[in-house]
Amino acid sequence: MSVILTAIVAVLHVCFLVLEMFLWATPFGQKTFKRTREEQEQTKVLAKNQGLYNGFLVAGLAWSLVAPDPIAWPVRVFFLVCVVVAGLYGGATASRAIFVLQALPGALALAATLGMKL
């Protein structure tokens, strides 16, 4: 279950990367983030930076899925904790939807991963 949930979290973060790095200032990005074109244009460099960080999370989560046993578990835990912390911060400061879209899936995957060692 840990592997499946972690893979889902990684795919979600690929979607976040694409939205933030490539679709931010498009009509789809404006609708998704409920911002005007001007707001999206003014913040697109910041969004690309956020997207890049999401890419790093994807890289770490993917690494945890293919790494050998001695390292896979701690790498997965570390990157899932990063996802949950980022989701909690984003949900508290940017949009409550981030709690559901990022923090919750990350927390479920983290719980399943921690449960592997019980």
Q: Read off φ and ψ for residue 95, nearest 5 degrees.
A: -155, 130
Rounded distance between C-alpha atoms, residue 81 and residue 107, angstroms: 8
Please choose, from the candidates 98, 118, 95, 117, the residue with its C-alpha nearest in 3D space to the C-alpha of residue 107. 98
Cα 94-22-44 angle, rounded to 5 deg: 50
* pLDDT tens-digit readout, 43-53: 999 999 999 99
- Read off the pTM: 0.93
Per-residue pLDDT tens for 54-99?
999 999 999 999 999 999 999 999 999 999 999 999 999 998 999 9
* pLDDT, tens digit, 9 for 90 and up, residues 20-41: 999 999 999 999 999 999 999 9
